Amino acid sequence: MKVAITGHSRHIGKALTELFTSQGHSVVGFSRSNGYDISNSQSVANIIKQSTDCDVFVNNACSGFHQNNVFEEIFAVWQNETSKTIVNISSRAKYWAAPSADLKTYYMSKKQLNHSAYKKMYQKNRCKVITINPGYVSDNPGDSDKPTITTTQLAETIKWCLNQPPGVEIGELSVWQLGF
């Protein structure tokens, strides 16, 4: 399997990159650290072009509303490719009724991403679209006073979603540590 991952060099993307490569899969990574910024339209065009031969596209990098733009672009190219899968990394934050002012853009961008994915999920003969809504995620959960899952746990959960039998699609999955 060949997997494209945005935001591959840190946090969730890094855990996914390590998991897929350790299992012998090919990973194409896109991050600001290697010259790909999803807030730049030329970078997005290059990401999409370099991902066309991949089997899975993990839309992980988040920069305002640009993550939704990346989803729309890759879906436009892959929409009729029933063997391909797009995984959107959203957030539990989309459920918040009244986000704090400093998180409002994040909250709204994740709600938009989820809404866009839902609209696409009802089309026939399309690529799979999986939306993951994690709660707090950390590389070192002991460093947080919030209940967190590890990046490795989340990566393994995403891999489980991808390993479902043919014809089975996990459209959306919310996952977090007990304690809320």
Q: pLDDT (tens digit, 9 = 90+) per residue, 145-154?
A: 777 899 999 9
Nearest 10 degrees: CA dihedral of 18, 161, 12, 7?
90
* Domains of the chain in sequence order: 2-175 (3.40.50.720)
Q: Which residue has the higher pLDDT, 94 or 153?
A: 153
Please give the mean pLDDT across all residues of the chain: 92
The DSSP annotation for 14-60 comes to HHHHHHHHHTT-EEEEE-GGGT--TTSHHHHHHHHHHHTT-SEEEE-
Neighbours of 53 (CB within 10 A): 9
Q: Say yes or no to pLDDT of 180 above 60.
A: no
How many whole angstroms separate alpha carbon 175 and alpha carbon 64? 22
Q: Say yes or no to pLDDT of 95 above 90.
A: no
- Its pTM stands at 0.94
What are the pLDDT digits (tens) for 9-56? Answer: 999 999 999 999 999 999 999 999 999 999 999 999 999 999 999 999
Residue identified by tokens 């459920």 is 95
Q: Indicate the DSSP class of residue 83.
A: T
